[in-house]
């Protein structure tokens, strides 16, 4: 995978299979903060489901904002987890050390955070989860490249595992994606505009 430095100085990688980068080139960490963590209204004590963990930036930004978080992460590609080991994020050294340990062992826990990474196809691994979450980060590759993670069927599986009023945040604002979210029972609203013309999306269970 080719490493790319984004506009805010943080790194992402180009995935040859999906022919896309894991993050926005306008700023990988900025995207995590403003499209995922802030609109999800992350607070201390929350349970978070991080779908498509990637380099762990969304969970990292959540840990910077709040304490005593329990994070369950789904990730299909072990290759990107290996990239975490030598990756560095300026200003997030403390939080990213935890991400690095989680990537090595698929688990990390201290007084302020617990991270469990489950590897495999998210459409299958999500069915093994039997707890309810306060927030969900949905960060797959784009709908044309990774369509199975943007379907009404998959959204219904996510919603089953969300508390009433919990928020799902994602970067896509595509009409078909929002329609699938609505069909799955979510209330859909605009999220922040960051580094692109269209808004991101907030879906409330």
Task: Please report the pLDDT score of residue 119 as a whole number.
Answer: 97
Query: What mean pLDDT comes out for the span 50-73?
Result: 97
Nearest 10 degrees: Cα torsion 35, 37, 41, 42: 170
Alpha helices in 86-130 (DSSP H): 93-105, 122-125
Dump pLDDT digits (tens) for 98-157: 999 999 999 999 999 999 999 999 999 999 999 999 999 999 988 999 999 999 999 999
What is the CATH T-level fold of the domain 29-204, as seen in this structure?
Answer: Rossmann fold (3.40.50)
Dump pLDDT digits (tens) for 148-160: 999 999 999 999 9
Q: Determine phi and psi for 118, rounding to 5 degrees.
A: -110, 120
Comparing CA positions, the residue from 89, 103, 82 lying closest to residue 6 is: 89
User: Does the predicted model carry a pTM greater than 0.85?
Assistant: yes
């Amino acid at each position: 995978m080719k490493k790319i430095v984004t506009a805010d100085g943080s790194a992402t990688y180009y995935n040859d299979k999906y022919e896309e980068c894991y993050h926005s080139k306008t700023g990988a960490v900025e995207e995590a903060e403003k499209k995922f963590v802030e609109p999800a209204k992350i607070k201390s004590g929350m349970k978070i489901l991080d779908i498509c963990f990637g380099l762990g930036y969304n969970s990292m930004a959540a840990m910077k904002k709040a304490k005593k978080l329990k994070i369950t992460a789904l990730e299909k590609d072990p290759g990107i987890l290996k990239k975490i080991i030598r990756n560095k994020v300026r200003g997030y050294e403390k939080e990213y050390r935890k991400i690095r340990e989680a990537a090595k062992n698929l688990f990390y826990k201290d007084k302020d955070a617990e991270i469990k990474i489950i590897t495999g196809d998210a459409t299958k691994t999500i069915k093994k989860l039997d707890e309810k979450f306060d927030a969900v980060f949905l960060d797959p590759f784009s709908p044309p490249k990774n369509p199975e993670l943007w379907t009404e069927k998959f959204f219904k599986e996510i919603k089953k595992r969300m508390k009433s009023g919990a928020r799902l945040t994602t970067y896509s604002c595509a009409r078909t994606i929002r329609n699938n979210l609505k069909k799955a029972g979510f209330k859909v609203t605009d999220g922040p505009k960051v580094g692109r013309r269209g808004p991101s999306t907030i879906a409330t269970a």
